[in-house]
Amino acid sequence: MRRPLIGITTYHRDASGGRSRFHVPTAYVDAVRGAGGLPVLLPPGETRPAELLDVVAGLVLCGGGDIDPAQFGGPADHEAQYSTCSERDAFELDLVCEALGRGTPTLAICRGMQILNVSLGGALHVHLPDVVGESVAHRVSREQHAYHAVRLAPDSQLAVLLGGQDVRVASWHHQAVARLGAGLRAVAWAEDGTIEAVELAGRPEVVAVQWHPELQFAEPDARQRRLFEDLVERARSVARQA
């Protein structure tokens, strides 16, 4: 059976080292391949995302730099902001709206969950420690992730998928959901109350988590692997119907 094409968004343009490039951490690609999908990278800048979604059967909205607070009416110029990119914001907001419109299976990770929330009219905390303090380490630094506990709503799709209500997650963010977008429901929380996952009413093909399951793909209990396997299986069904 042919592997379904899974689109993976990339980071913004990076001009460091004298050569401009698009890139994405290899863990996203490895996780999609490991789950049985055929990964293809979707760099920002495309003005007709519908053409991309005509080709792929599933979508991973990956993490990366901050969303510009102008996109959700947040305060500008916070000292902790980094790597904002209007080109990437515009592309991903258009892409996720198009994906929602056609029912494309989507796994939204970290920034990806924030993009989903903003696309539906939600807002973000621009720097989470300002709101909840640092009792939970949501990241160690911009260069190093952390691990912490998350509690899942027992009646959530995510709890069924992960096989329980308590999980340990790889965390690497400093922005987070402040106000939920239309139709979204919080289904997971850190111990400090930070929203760690959301579900969209009536849309089981959309899975959105604030943590980084790609960094835990190879863990022995395989719980985070199931997020990618679910995406690929749903994408395979879409590809069969095409």
**Structure confidence by residue, pLDDT tens digits, 71-102:** 999 988 888 888 999 999 999 999 999 999 99
| 23 tagged catalytic | no
| 51 tagged catalytic | no
- pLDDT, tens digit, for every residue of 212-226? 999 999 999 999 999
d(CA 62, CA 11): 8
**Res. 143 pLDDT band, cuts 50 70 90:** confident
In the chain, how many domains are there? Answer: 1
Of 110, 145, 173, 205, the catalytic one is 110
Q: How far is CA 203 from CA 15, 67, 70, 104, 122, in A?
A: 38, 24, 28, 10, 17
d(CA 174, CA 76): 15
Structure tokens at 214: 């790609």
Average pLDDT of span 196-207: 97
Whole-number pLDDT of residue 240:
84
> Residues 208, 108: contact at Cβ < 8 Å?
yes
**Res. 180 pLDDT band, cuts 50 70 90:** very high
Its domain, for residue 170, covers 5-241
Q: What are phi and psi of 211, to 5 degrees?
A: -90, -175
| 62 tagged catalytic | no
Whole-number pLDDT of residue 55:
96
Q: CATH number of the domain that 130 lies in?
A: 3.40.50.880
The answer for residues whose C-beta is within 8 angstroms of residue 89's C-beta and 6 or more apart is 67, 68, 71, 115
Whole-number pLDDT of residue 43:
97
d(CA 141, CA 179): 25
Q: How many residues does the chain have?
A: 242
**Res. 139 pLDDT band, cuts 50 70 90:** confident
